[in-house]
Chains A and B, each alone.
Chain A
Amino acid sequence: MEPTNVHDPEYYHKVVDCQYACPAHTPVPEYIRLIAAEKYTEAYMVNWESNVFPGVLGRTCDRPCEPACRRGRVDEEPVAICRLKRVAADNKGDITHLLPKIPTKGNGKRIALIGAGPASLTVARDLAPLGYEIHVFDEQIKGGGMMRSQIPSFRLPESVLDEEVNNILNLGIHQHFKTYVSSLKSVINDGYDAVFIGTGAPRGRDLTNLPGRAEGGANIHVGIEWLASVAFEHTKSIGKKVIVLGGGNTAMDCCRTSRRLGGEDVKVVVRSPYSEMKASPWEKEDAQHEDIPILDNHVPVSFVSENGKLKGMTFEKVHAVYDEKGKRSLVPTGEPHVFIEADDVLVAIGQENYFPWIERDLGIEFDKWDMPKVDSTTFQSTNPKVFFGGDAALGPKNVITAVAQGHSAAVSIDLYCQGKPLDVRPDPMTNLVSQKMGIHEWSYDSIVANDDRYVVPQAEKKVTLIDRKKEVELGFDKNVGFKEAQRCLNCDVQTVFTENRCIECDACMDICPTDCITFTVNGTEEDLRTRLKAPSLHLDQSLLVSNTLAATGRVMVKDEDVCLHCGLCAERCPTSAWDMQKFFYNTTKAHHGCGSHA
Chain B
Amino acid sequence: MTYVRPTFRHPDLPKNKINFTKKDYEGALSTLCAGCGHDSISGAIAQACFELSVEPHRIAKLSGIGCSSKTPAYFLGNSHGFNSVHGRMPSVATGAYLANRDLVYFGVSGDGDSASIGMGQFVHAIRRNLNMVYVVMNNGCYGLTKGQDSATADNGSKSKAGSTNLFNAIDLVGLGLELGATFVARSFSGDKTQLIPLIKAAISHPGFALIDVISPCVTFNNNVGSTKSYDYVREHIEATSTVDFVPVMEEITASYDDAKEVTLHDGSALHLQKLHQGWNPEDKLSAMNAIQTSKEKGEILTGLIYIEPNTNALHDVLQTTKTPLNTLKEDLLCPGIDALEALNQSLR
Q: A506-B190, A574-B218 are in contact. Are A74 and B11 (CB under 8 A)?
A: yes
Name B40's contact: one of A74, A446, A507 (CB within 8 Å): A507
Name B10's contact: one of A75, A514, A568, A571 (CB within 8 Å): A514
The answer to whether A573 touches B34 (Cβ under 8 A) is yes
Interchain CA distance A507-B29 in the complex, whole Å: 12
The answer to whether B10 touches A562 (Cβ under 8 A) is yes
Cβ of B281 under 8 Å from chain A: no
Residues of A within 8 A of B8 (CB): 74-75, 448, 513-514, 562, 564
- Kindly report which residue of chain A lies nearest to residue B40, judged by CB atoms: A506
Interchain CA distance A440-B1 in the complex, whole Å: 5
- Kindly report which residue of chain B lies nearest to residue A562, judged by CB atoms: B10
State which residues 208-258 of B face A: CB under 8 Å: 216, 218, 222, 230-231, 234
- Kindly report which residue of chain B lies nearest to residue A570, judged by CB atoms: B34
Interchain CA distance A487-B65 in the complex, whole Å: 40
Cβ of B334 under 8 Å from chain A: no
The answer to whether B2 touches A447 (Cβ under 8 A) is yes
The answer to whether A535 touches B14 (Cβ under 8 A) is yes
- Kindly report which residue of chain A lies nearest to residue B5, judged by CB atoms: A513
Q: A506-B189, A552-B234 are in contact. Are A442 and B2 (CB under 8 A)?
A: yes
Cβ of B117 under 8 Å from chain A: no
Residue total for B at the interface (Cβ-Cβ under 8 A): 35
Q: How far is the CB of A248 from chain B (nearest CB, A)?
A: 32
Cβ of B96 under 8 Å from chain A: no
The answer to whether B6 touches A564 (Cβ under 8 A) is yes
Interchain CA distance A503-B223 in the complex, whole Å: 12
Interchain CA distance A530-B43 in the complex, whole Å: 21
The answer to whether A574 touches B5 (Cβ under 8 A) is no
- Kindly report which residue of chain B lies nearest to residue A561, judged by CB atoms: B10
Residues of B within 8 A of A562 (CB): 8, 10-11
The answer to whether B37 touches A513 (Cβ under 8 A) is no
Residues of B within 8 A of A514 (CB): 8-10
Cβ of B12 under 8 Å from chain A: yes
The answer to whether A571 touches B34 (Cβ under 8 A) is yes
Residues of B within 8 A of A534 (CB): 10, 12-14
Cβ of B36 under 8 Å from chain A: yes
Cβ of A505 under 8 Å from chain B: yes
Name A503's contact: one of B9, B33, B230 (CB within 8 Å): B230
Cβ of A572 under 8 Å from chain B: yes
Cβ of A458 under 8 Å from chain B: no
Interface string of A440-484 (1 = CB under 8 A from B): 111001111010000000000000000000000000000000000
Name A447's contact: one of B4, B35, B37 (CB within 8 Å): B4
The answer to whether A551 touches B10 (Cβ under 8 A) is no
Q: How far is the CB of A417 from chain B (nearest CB, A)?
A: 49
Cβ of B70 under 8 Å from chain A: no
Residues of B within 8 A of A567 (CB): 2
Interface string of A53-78 (1 = CB under 8 A from B): 00000000000000000000111000
Cβ of A183 under 8 Å from chain B: no
The answer to whether B2 touches A507 (Cβ under 8 A) is no
Q: A510-B42, A513-B6, A574-B218 are in contact. Are A551 and B230 (CB under 8 A)?
A: yes
The answer to whether A448 touches B218 (Cβ under 8 A) is no
State which residues 69-100 of A face B: CB under 8 Å: 73-75
- Kindly report which residue of chain B lies nearest to residue A71, judged by CB atoms: B8
Cβ of A537 under 8 Å from chain B: yes
Name B13's contact: one of A441, A509, A515 (CB within 8 Å): A515
State which residues 151-205 of B face A: CB under 8 Å: 189-190, 192
Interface string of B1-45 (1 = CB under 8 A from A): 111111111111110000000100000011001111101101100
Interchain CA distance A243-B94 in the complex, whole Å: 82
Residues of A within 8 A of B43 (CB): 506, 509-510
State which residues 493-543 of A face B: CB under 8 Å: 503-507, 509-511, 513-516, 534-535, 537
The answer to whether B34 touches A507 (Cβ under 8 A) is yes
The answer to whether A505 touches B190 (Cβ under 8 A) is yes
- Kindly report which residue of chain B lies nearest to residue A567, judged by CB atoms: B2
Residues of B within 8 A of A509 (CB): 43
- Kindly report which residue of chain B lies nearest to residue A564, judged by CB atoms: B6
State which residues 31-66 of B face A: CB under 8 Å: 33-37, 39-40, 42-43
Residues of B within 8 A of A573 (CB): 34-35
Q: How far is the CB of B15 from chain A (nearest CB, A)?
A: 12
**Highest count of chain A CB atoms <10 Å: which of B10, B13, B222:** B10
Residues of A within 8 A of B10 (CB): 74, 514-516, 534-535, 562
**Highest count of chain B CB atoms <10 Å: which of A75, A446, A507:** A507
- Kindly report which residue of chain A lies nearest to residue B14, judged by CB atoms: A535
Interface string of A223-259 (1 = CB under 8 A from B): 0000000000000000000000000000000000000
Q: How far is the CB of B242 from chain A (nearest CB, A)?
A: 14
Interchain CA distance A454-B9 in the complex, whole Å: 22
Residues of B within 8 A of A506 (CB): 39-40, 43, 189-190, 192
- Kindly report which residue of chain B lies nearest to residue A507, judged by CB atoms: B35
Residues of A within 8 A of B30 (CB): 511, 572
Interchain CA distance A20-B55 in the complex, whole Å: 44
Residues of A within 8 A of B36 (CB): 505, 507
- Kindly report which residue of chain A lies nearest to residue B190, judged by CB atoms: A504
Interchain CA distance A505-B36 in the complex, whole Å: 7
Interchain CA distance A535-B43 in the complex, whole Å: 18
Interchain CA distance A73-B192 in the complex, whole Å: 29
Interchain CA distance A552-B194 in the complex, whole Å: 14
Interchain CA distance A516-B34 in the complex, whole Å: 18
Cβ of A575 under 8 Å from chain B: yes
Q: How far is the CB of A550 from chain B (nearest CB, A)?
A: 9
Interchain CA distance A478-B231 in the complex, whole Å: 53
Residues of B within 8 A of A73 (CB): 11
Q: How far is the CB of B202 from chain A (nearest CB, A)?
A: 20
Cβ of A304 under 8 Å from chain B: no
Interchain CA distance A73-B33 in the complex, whole Å: 32
The answer to whether B5 touches A568 (Cβ under 8 A) is yes
Residues of B within 8 A of A571 (CB): 2-3, 34
Q: A505-B216, A572-B34, A574-B218 are in contact. Are A513 and B2 (CB under 8 A)?
A: no
Q: How far is the CB of B170 from chain A (nearest CB, A)?
A: 25
Q: How far is the CB of B74 from chain A (nearest CB, A)?
A: 9
The answer to whether B192 touches A448 (Cβ under 8 A) is no
Residues of A participating in the B interface, judged by any CB pair closer than 8 Å:
73-75, 440-442, 445-448, 450, 503-507, 509-511, 513-516, 534-535, 537, 551-552, 562, 564, 566-568, 571-575
Name 7 A/B residue pairs within 8 A (Cβ), A-sorted. A447-B6, A503-B231, A507-B34, A511-B30, A534-B12, A564-B6, A572-B35
Given A506-B43, A566-B4, 7 new contacts (CB under 8 A): A445-B2, A503-B222, A504-B190, A505-B36, A511-B5, A564-B6, A566-B6
Residues of B participating in the A interface, judged by any CB pair closer than 8 Å:
1-14, 22, 29-30, 33-37, 39-40, 42-43, 189-190, 192, 216, 218, 222, 230-231, 234
